[in-house]
DNA sequence: TAGGCCATCTGGTCCT
DNA sequence: AGGACCAGATGGCCTA
């Protein structure tokens, strides 16, 4: 189903407690909260005269300049909306370890793979129900997936990838291997499927 | 210093 | 004409 596991060392850094502390110390909760300093205010425009690229040396006065400024504002607003949508997507994904924030591409990959994982869970639950009348509750509905619990698991338990896939990355950071068990309500009816947290992020199409 | 991620600016294209 | 969307370019910040 999934192709190869990709190695994203830079992204893994965000799971490091050390880096998380840096973020907290900076106190930056807006914009980029990945440990970088706050950006310039959105209303501050770039000094185009300092830009070397001729493309950026456009006339900023007169009607053309006003149109360009308005277009820039719209584009900024559009990108902010896009980022808000990404934040909304992050908010409904399972909690990350130590509040690490996924990058944009990681968020999209995680969401895609998480959807796949949920779909697989429902499919397996459905199969199980056919054989043992296992789940009387309506597991056929995605809304019935009430919670996701993270716990520790060895990479070999994940089912995707191999130990070798993770060993070199684990040496880079103090990342805990994470897995996700998806419940259908009561814990006693936990679907016997364990997903590897990192696999959901790193797996690509 | 290189590479990753990001915000922003910019001009082109398409649509209303 | 003006707005939305897109991709390229640029520079800042950060970590290894």
The protein residue nearest nucleotide B7, judged by CA to C1', is A39
Task: Give me the CA A202–C1' B2 separation in Å, rounded.
Answer: 23
Distance A68 CA to B15 C1' (A): 19
Number of domains in chain A: 1
Q: Would A70 be classed as within a structural domain?
A: yes
Residue with minimal CA–C1' distance to C15 is A10
Any residues with CB less than 8 A from the CB of A142 and at least 6 apart, and which? A118, A122
Whether A106 is in a domain gets the answer yes
Q: Give the span between the Cα atoms of A113 and A109, in whole angstroms.
A: 6
pLDDT digits 0-9 by tens, A62-103: 778 888 888 888 898 889 888 888 988 988 888 666 557 888
Strand B footprint nucleotides (protein C-beta < 7 Å): 3-12
pLDDT (tens digit, 9 = 90+) per residue, A15-70? 333 332 322 322 233 333 333 333 333 333 333 333 333 334 444 557 788 888 88
Nucleotides on strand C lying under 7 Å from protein C-beta: 2-16
Q: How far apart are CA A122 and CA A138, in angstroms?
A: 10
A74 touches strand C (CB under 7 A): yes
With respect to residue A82, please indicate whether it lies within any of the assigned structural domains.
yes
Q: Distance between CA atoms of A74 and A143, rounded to whole angstroms?
A: 36
Structure tokens at A90: 């992050």
Q: Which domain holds residue A116?
A: 58-135
Identify the CATH number of the domain in which residue A115 sits: 4.10.280
The pTM assigned to this predicted structure is: 0.55
Nearest CA to A180 out of A166, A199, A195 is that of A195
């Amino acid at each position: 189903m999934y192709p190869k596991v990709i190695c994203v060392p830079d992204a893994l850094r965000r799971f490091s407690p050390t880096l998380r502390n840096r973020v907290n110390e900076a106190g930056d909760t807006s914009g980029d909260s990945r440990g970088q300093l706050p950006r310039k205010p959105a209303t501050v425009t770039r000094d185009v005269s300092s830009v070397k690229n001729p493309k950026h040396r456009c006339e900023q006065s007169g009607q053309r300049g006003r149109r360009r400024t308005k277009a820039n504002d719209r584009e900024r607003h559009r990108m902010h909306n896009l980022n808000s949508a990404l934040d909304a997507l992050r908010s409904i994904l399972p909690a990350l370890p130590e509040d690490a924030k996924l990058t944009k591409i990681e968020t999209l990959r995680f969401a895609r793979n998480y959807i796949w994982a949920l779909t697989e869970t429902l499919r397996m639950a459905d199969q199980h129900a056919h054989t043992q009348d296992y789940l009387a509750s309506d597991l056929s509905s995605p809304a019935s997936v009430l919670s996701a619990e993270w716990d520790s698991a060895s990479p070999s338990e994940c089912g995707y990838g191999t130990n070798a896939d993770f060993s070199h990355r684990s040496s880079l950071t103090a990342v805990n291997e994470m897995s996700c068990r998806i419940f259908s309500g009561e814990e006693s009816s936990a679907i016997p499927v364990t997903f590897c947290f990192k696999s959901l992020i790193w797996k690509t199409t």
